[in-house]
Amino acid sequence: MKVTVTQIFLLLLLSLVHSFAEQRSNEEEEVERSQFPSGFLFGAATSSYQIEGAVLEDGKSPNNWDVFCHIPGGIKNGDTGDIADDHYHQFLEDIEIIHSLGVNAYRFSISWSRVLPRGRLGEVNPKGVMFYSKIIDNLLLKGIEPYVTIYHHDHPQELEERFGAWLSPLMQEEFVHFAETCFENFGDRVKYWTTINEPNLLAEMAYLWGRYPPAHCSAPFGNCSSGNSDTEPLFVLHNMLLSHAKAANIYRHKYQLKQGGFIGIIANTLMCEPLRDIELDREAAKRALAFYIAWMLDPLVFGDYPPEMRQYHGNGLPRFTSEETKLLTQSLDFIGINHYTSLYAKDCIHSTCSSDGDRAIQGFVYLTGERDGVPIGERTGMRRFFIVPRGMEKIIEYVKERYNNMPMFVTENGYSPPEKQDEQEEDLVQDAKRIEFHKAYLAALARAIRNGADVRGYFIWSLMDNFEWVYGYNTRFGLYYVDRQTLRRTPKLSARWYANFLTNSGHNHVENAIPGSFKIKDAILTRLKTQKAEM
């Protein structure tokens, strides 16, 4: 049979139309709670520094962010977390708004400098412990599972000054002490622990770009007063992995059996797509995932850094002893995944790149959000975040394949709108785009689960507008709007949508997530009563 050029052209056109239509329909797919397994955790997430405020109250010491925010020029508009959302004083009202969403889980983190103001050198601060204890108790009374991150970017400044915090192996013992303090004081009620939020992002932001404290970097990545962007991120991440492994080891041996919980870690994940339709960029996209995600997860599952990294870093990459390898590979019950965006990857081994992609620390990959001036997805309020729902499905698939389908939780996913001048509350609460975002990402997650991925929960970042690190308060990720003058919380349209999405289901109670957790209800009530009497 003879095929004419016109026929080939028509066939090509048809297949293009078909794949475009398929993509559209995937992304517009309606999503329902019932598409997720029973017992699935649906929650919202926050972190201590971003919401608590009460900067030096009740025995809390200054932490690295407290100090950093007061250095002029560090944070947009000179914002600080001194007051933040004043959650320290308003936590009971906040638990009410969490409850009104109808979620069965709430993810939050513990402020190290509130609980152990001087680290191992000082005492446990009873007021700090009491604060988190009350949060946990009040959540459980409402049938909400506390999902606790031990460390989310903030540590006592003293550790920075004494020995350089994450740059030193001494930080490992400090972290283990902090983690154990948490297991001891809260582990009777907390069943989900994550040790460290995004070691990979922290290493990159604080020691490569120098944008988070302690602001270390070197050229071509930035102009900091100290640091070495080519090497420090590697040492810092190494110390964080060992800190995690040692804390998990203590949990396994002293607490897990008695307390019956689970322990994991959280990775920042971005999906990478080849910039150009060529093999070199397809390889670059894979390499970028290895140098960013597998960098922190391979050691925890296989006991060593990914082979791609060994190949390019040679002896520059730290080594684990066999004892450490053993600890690492026994340290995970699940993987937490923070996912927001996809980026394009361009090869820099054989192609010419701008200077920052041209380095081993970046895997010789240049990452960008645009191809020929066209963004990879709709833009958001974050310069490097674009709306690419299929990235969620792909990243879950990547983690599932690489790590033998270990249980996963999506511990963060969220949207902030591009900032507009003089925007008012009335506009910001009408957040139809955020609803669209979550529907599309949830539909992608549901597809990954249908494809066999063992995902057990999903947390929206964030419960309420908060201190978005170097971007300050004008970058708003919340389901609740927070007025910066009055600190009043107002549900956005998305909060109503989430509540609606969640109540249209029969599996929304915590009993499904943790059998027997209500047995401790009486104990909680008794404790809350005694605390009241003591006050």
Residues with active-site annotation: 198, 412
CB 182 within 8 A of CB 175: no
Q: Is 268 in the site for ligand FCB (CB under 6 A)?
A: yes
Count the residues of the shown chain that bind ligand FCB, applying the rule CB under 6 A: 12
Interface with ligand FCB by CB under 6 A: which range of 165-173, 195-203, 284-292, 391-399?
Answer: 195-203
User: Do residues 333 and 264 touch, judged by C-beta distance below 8 A?
Assistant: yes
Measuring CA to CA, how many Å separate 474 from each of 67, 440, 451, 484? 21, 24, 38, 10
Residues 454 and 407 sit within 8 Å (Cβ to Cβ): yes
- Give the residue with the Cβ less far from ligand FCB, 235 or 477: 477
- Three-class secondary structure of residue 481 per DSSP: strand
Q: x/- contact string, 106-145, with ligand FCB (CB under 6 A)?
A: ----------------------------------------
Q: In this chain, which stretch among 177-185, 197-205, 293-301, 433-441 interacts with ligand FCB, using CB under 6 A?
A: 197-205
Angle at 277 between CA 272 and CA 282, to 5 degrees: 45
- 61 or 338: CB nearest ligand FCB: 338
CA dist list (Å): 206 to 46, 103, 402: 20, 33, 27
Q: Which residue is nearest to ligand FCB (CB)?
A: 47
Q: CB of residue 112 vs ligand FCB: minimum separation in angstroms?
A: 15
Cβ proximity to ligand FCB, 207 vs 312, nearer residue:
207
- Residue 218 in the binding site for ligand FCB (CB under 6 A): no
User: Are 149 and 110 contacting, i.e. CB atoms less than 8 angstroms apart?
Assistant: yes
Residues in region 389-408 near ligand FCB by CB under 6 A = none
Among 129, 201, 294, 376, binds ligand FCB (CB under 6 A): 201
Could you say which residues in the range 349-378 bind ligand FCB, by CB under 6 A?
none
Does residue 51 touch ligand FCB according to CB under 6 A? no
Using alpha carbons only, what angle is made at residue 463 by residues 460 and 464, rounded to the nearest 5 degrees? Answer: 130
| Among 10-18, 193-201, 488-496, 522-530, the segment contacting ligand FCB (CB under 6 A) | 193-201
Q: Which helix (H) or strand (E) holds 456?
A: strand 455-461
Q: Per rule CB under 6 A, is residue 291 in the interface with ligand FCB?
A: no
Q: How far is the CB of 84 from ligand FCB (least distance, A)?
A: 12
Structure tokens at 365: 């990959």
Is residue 468 part of the contact set for ligand FCB (CB under 6 A)? Answer: yes
Q: How many CB atoms lie within 10 A of CB 453?
A: 18
Both tokens of 133, joined, read 């204890």
The CB-of-12 to ligand FCB minimum distance in angstroms stands at 41
DSSP class of 413? E
Tell me the C-alpha distance between 205 and 216, whole Å. Answer: 9
**Piece of the chain touching ligand FCB by CB under 6 A; list 69-77, 194-202, 274-282, 284-292:** 194-202
Q: Least distance (Å) from ligand FCB to the CB of residue 462?
A: 7
Residues 60 and 119: their CA atoms lie apart, in Å, by: 11
502, 503, 506, 511 alpha-carbon torsion, rounded to 10°: 70
| Position 61, amino acid | S
Give 129 or 382: the residue with its C-beta nearer to ligand FCB: 382
Residue 510 CA to residue 517 CA, distance in Å, equals: 8
Task: Establish if 413 lies at the interface with ligand FCB (CB under 6 A).
Answer: no
Residue 80 or 133 with smaller CB distance to ligand FCB: 80
- How far apart CA 412 and CA 409 sit, in angstroms, is 9
461 is a contact residue toward ligand FCB (CB under 6 A) = yes
Q: Which two tokens stand for residue 362?
A: 């970046």
Q: Does the protein bind ligand FCB through residue 197 (CB under 6 A)? A: yes
CA–CA distance, 410 with 396 (Å, rounded to integer): 9
Binding mask 322-341 for ligand FCB (x = CB under 6 A): ----------------x---
DSSP H or E stretch at residue 439: helix 432-450
**Can you tell me which residue has the tokens 């990959």?**
365
Nearer to ligand FCB, 412 or 465 (CB): 412
Give me the 469-508 binding string for ligand FCB, x by CB under 6 A, dash otherwise: x-------x-------------------------------
| Contact flag: residue 94 with ligand FCB (CB under 6 A) | no
Among 41, 47, 437, 478, binds ligand FCB (CB under 6 A): 47
Positions touching ligand FCB (CB under 6 A) are: 47, 50, 197-198, 201, 268, 338, 412, 461, 468-469, 477
